[in-house]
Structure 1
Amino acid sequence: MLTGYWSIDAFLIANLILCLGVSVVFGYQQYTGGGALDDASSKHSSKE
Structure 2
Amino acid sequence: MRALRISGSPDVSGVEEYFDQQIGLTAPANRTGSEEHEHTVKSR
Normalised TM-score (structure 2): 0.49
Larger Rg: 1
Q: Which protein, 1 or 2, shows the higher relative CO under an 8 Å CA cutoff with sep ≥ 6?
A: 2
> Which structure has more helix as a fraction of its residues?
2
